[in-house]
Chains A and B, each alone.
Chain A
Amino acid sequence: MTEASAKAAPAAHRQDGEWKRRWARLRRNRAALFGGSMILLYTLIALLAPLISPGDPAAPNLISALEGPSAGRLLGTDELGRSILARIIHGSRISLLIALGVVSVGLLIGVPTGLISGYYGGRVDFVIQRLTDMMLAFPGFLLALALVSVLGVGLKNTVISIGISMIPLYIRLVRAQSLAVREQVYVEAAKAVGTRDGKILLHHVLPNVMVPIIVQTSLGMGMAILFAAGLGFLGLGVQPPQPEWGAMLGSGRSYIFHAPHVATFPGLAIFFAVLGFNLLGDGLRDALDPRMKA
């Protein structure tokens, strides 16, 4: 065992106790619990989609097109007579997949970049921050839109475009935290005993920026679903006939005067999913770090 890891051990132990207290606070937080359960429900629906879906989400049945909700067809049918409920259930797979993909892109690129930017400072920091400024010169949704105009439509490009537009948020968040952590005595101590930078970042800086990252990830997943639905609605995201919620809303828009239910239900699906992630994110923030404010 090297000297450095011997020093790290009691620190890790303290971290465990802190996480136990956070978990206890989280379980008492009603918003977080409610949001978390909603997300759990959506996840179950997505996983079990083929089992619980009432029929095929892609099977057209023109005779029963644009039927309103009834006992037989709970949420009615769309312009091609497809079951809206079946499409929403299958659509949850697409939306959750997009959310996971987007947040992964943001985390994998944004977190290391932010850590390096804040920890090393100086010229590296300056260059990274100017690049971030450049990306932030476009409000998130517009950046995603601009990227889509170059990359093209579809599921993969939706994930890449929204993911890239989320990177600067993670960079800023992680940089601010790692700037503060860098000055702490324990980081200095680790440096003094000759711990490598990579190890310091991983064992000392990263654990201390975990809480804001977790909060941002929950809020980011909600945002990803909203953005993806927006792109789908404009016809610039996941393409029909795939049952993406935004795209369903987009095609339901043409029937808003005679069959408003076609656009209503996919919208509710989006709303509750985003609400779930926002509740969870807000709850996590209150429970994990009471010092942070909305």
Chain B
Amino acid sequence: MLQYVIKRLLYTVPVLIGISILLFIMLRALPGDPAQVLAGELASQEDIQNIRVQLGLDKPIHVQYARFLFRLSHLDLGRSARTQNPVIQEIWARLPNTFLLAVVATGLACLIGIPAGIISAIKPYGWLDNLVTSGALFGISMPVFWLGLMLVVVFSVILHWLPAGGTGGVEHVILPSVTLAAFVVAFIARMTRSSMLEVLNQDYITTARSKGLQEKVVIIRHALHNALIPIITVIGLQFGMLLGGAVLTETVFAWPGLGRLIVDSILARDYPMIQGVILIFGLLYILVNLVVDMLYALVDPRIRYD
């Protein structure tokens, strides 16, 4: 297992280098002088010159990249062009908010998606299955930001039950996390259904039934347990979608997380901040997929990492 973890970690190294190259190129691909861009539009000539020297833009390109990597390895992402605060500090301040939404949404999605998928698979093409399948199709076809706004119309504008945005107590978390979860519920339900259908056709399920086991036991202990692997994969992959969805959801609900931060930064052309948030998103995504790979071993003892 440990060997596998190390191997898997080594595997992420090229991806990390790739991300760093992309980020490095990103600033240089911008039209005009990166120092000017970083300094902002109101900077004086002197400021720009200072930034140029500070960033080593007068040095050859491979030296610049080496310096860039060195700073990255120290989590030195520079300062925001907008607020002048260190980028990493602003990211740390908002990370917990995004994380909270992502965790609540994933939890909700599993709580609804997995049972829905199981119900669907027990009687395929029955009315419950049709309901779940079309619900899931609606879920993946719906723009998240539109769903969010419609929830605001119903629960804030008409019913006055929940706040339309901002942060505060639990009531502020409900609408954004439901919005974010909707999409993921759909994917998890679909995956659970097809995974369960496949497992329910296996011989050992027939055996379990012919032993006279209760249907509930067959479904939960025998079928679901074996159907879990593809479901976990989907949950892991959806985490990336969740980060993308967070950008939109946080904008709808004025939620102070990383998604809102990157949109504001793009609109303000705050490139150090954009770079920083993209890096963190990339790292989070890689990390989650790593954890998913480890989870396989816990769920399925057939998988051995050697």
**Residues of chain A having any CB pair with chain B under 8 Å:** 130-131, 133-134, 137-142, 145-146, 148-150, 222, 226, 229-230, 233-236, 246, 249, 253, 256-257, 260, 263-264, 267, 270-271, 274-275, 278-279, 282, 293-294
Contacts and interface: CB of A to CB of B under 8 A. Distances in A.
Interface of B: 14-15, 18-19, 21-22, 26, 29-30, 137-138, 140-146, 149-150, 152-153, 157, 164, 190-191, 194, 198, 240-241, 243-245, 247-248, 251-252, 262-263, 265-267, 271, 274, 278, 281-282, 285-286
Contact of A149 (B143, B144, B251, B266): B266
B143 A150 contact: no
A139 B149 contact: no
A133 B22 CA distance: 12
A256 B153 contact: yes
Contacts of B245: 141
A257 B149 CA distance: 10
Contact of B194 (A229, A278, A293): A293
Contact of A278 (B21, B140, B241): B140
B88 to A, nearest CB: 18
Contacts of B146: 249, 263, 267, 270-271
A138 B282 contact: yes
Contact of B248 (A140, A233, A294): A233
A222 B141 contact: yes
Tell me the interface secondary structure of chain A in the complex. Answer: helix
A139 B262 CA distance: 15
Nearest to B14: A130
Contact of B285 (A138, A234, A257): A138
Given A226-B143, A270-B146, A140 B244 contact: yes
Nearest to A266: B146
Nearest to A268: B146
9 contacts: A137-B18, A137-B285, A138-B281, A138-B282, A233-B145, A236-B266, A236-B267, A257-B164, A274-B142
A260 B266 contact: no
A260 B148 CA distance: 12
Contacts of A139: 240-241, 243-244, 281, 285
A134 B22 contact: yes
A146 B190 contact: no
B141 A274 contact: yes
Contacts of A138: 19, 240, 278, 281-282, 285
Which of the listed residues A150, A275, A279 has the most CB atoms from chain B within 10 Å of its own CB? A150
A152 to B, nearest CB: 9
Nearest to B137: A278
A80 to B, nearest CB: 19
Nearest 8 A/B pairs, CB to CB:
A139-B240, A134-B18, A141-B244, A267-B146, A275-B141, A274-B141, A149-B266, A260-B153
A267 B278 CA distance: 28
Contacts of B267: 235-236
A69 B255 CA distance: 31
A234 B247 contact: yes
B146 to A, nearest CB: 3
Contact of A137 (B19, B26, B137, B142): B19
Given A253-B149, A267-B149, A278 B141 contact: yes
A149 B248 CA distance: 16
A230 B266 contact: no
A133 B150 contact: no
Given A134-B22, A233-B251, A263-B149, 15 more contacts: A137-B282, A138-B278, A140-B241, A146-B26, A148-B266, A149-B26, A226-B143, A229-B143, A233-B143, A234-B251, A236-B263, A260-B149, A270-B143, A271-B142, A275-B138
Contacts of A150: 26, 29-30
Nearest to A227: B244
A275 B19 contact: no
B240 to A, nearest CB: 3
A273 to B, nearest CB: 9
Which of the listed residues B18, B144, B266, B281 has the most CB atoms from chain A within 10 Å of its own CB? B266
Nearest to A139: B240
Contacts of A293: 194, 198
A141 B251 CA distance: 15
Contacts of A257: 157, 164
A230 B19 contact: no
Given A249-B145, A249-B149, A149 B274 contact: yes
A294 B281 contact: no
A133 B157 contact: no
